[in-house]
Amino acid sequence: MQLYIQQLSLAADPPPFSATIFSAIRYETNANFGPGTNSVTLNGIDFTLDDQSVGQPGWSALNIGTLHYSYDLKKQGDKIEFDFLAYSTAYFENELQDIDLDFFEFTLGPSWNLKRWGWDQTRLYTYAIADLAYLGYETYFTAPGAGIRLLSFSAERSVLDARVETRYREFNDTDLLPTNSLRDGLQTRLGATYSYYTSPGFVITTQGYVQREDASADFYSDWEIALSGGFAWTFDNFLWQGQYPWTWQLGGGIILRNYDAPDPTINFFESEEDETWWARTAVVIPVAETWALVPQVEYRDQKSNYDIRTYDDLITLLGVQKRF
């Protein structure tokens, strides 16, 4: 039980500074999320797509970095919180480099210790958001926004993380995406994650969210609902007695997406409806106190009433994680 108490203590009262870097080599059977066949139907007419428009396999370098800093206001546990996220994926194949993605997010704002109101081990966060994304090394969108988050460890063996965030995304027109600005609009998401520790080394997690995207063009506006679940099991290294235990993670879920209006370039009469199922497993293998190897496999299958949006993708990666 001591390990379990230490884990919750660290999460409930994190250090003022922390950072992680994750770097991986990734292979995808369908890197561009293209349809699995050259034959599609657009507005009732059968078309044959060129090889560049269907699903293409690809290798890429994946890098994710996070940074957290908090400043204690010396006032009943209140703090100023700063978080930074950087995500980068770079494909090795020339024909896929137009979907290389770089994404950066900054959040900054105060958090309040709710113990003063009788809610122990619970914090309320309010924060400003700034997002910047590049696609194919050209500006894809910028997005200022704001969020509210509730993080609670007050229930026994449980963690509740609920938040609502809204952003105004402004997209940039490019030679490859000349009508990208039709996606301009608000994106608002309400979601929650609940985790329950059945034992010091086994945690069950469920997650769900509802998201609304408004866009200048109705056929880019949509509602999205997602549900997922999984577990993480931390166990002794069964190959040799090491100092650091391994963690096996397994999860899966569904994403439902319905668009407001038909896309006239695909179907004059029916709005797009997508259903995506996914499953993922990974093993975290520590090789030192702050270093770990992470092999991961994920499968994603999307069904859609638009042929061109139907695809499946098998993703495998081997990564290295460093904690600071």
pLDDT tens-digit map of 181-199: 999 999 999 999 999 999 9
- What single DSSP character describes residue 182? G
- What single DSSP character describes residue 121? T
Mean pLDDT within 66-84 = 90
pTM: 0.89
Question: How would residue 10 be classed by pLDDT, with cut points 50, 70 and 90?
Answer: very low
Classified as helix, coil or strand, 95 is helix
Q: What sign for the dihedral angle of Cα 113, 323, 60, 208?
A: negative
pLDDT digits (tens, 9 = 90+) for 101-129: 999 999 999 999 998 888 888 999 999 99
Average pLDDT in the chain: 88
Residues 185-195 as b or e (16 or more Cβ within 10 Å = b): bebebeeebbb
Question: How would residue 5 be classed by pLDDT, with cut points 50, 70 and 90?
Answer: very low
> Tokens standing for 282?
């990974």
State residue 64's pLDDT score.
94
Mean pLDDT within 227-235 = 94
The residue type of 1 is M
Report the alpha-carbon angle 90-313-138, nearest 5: 30
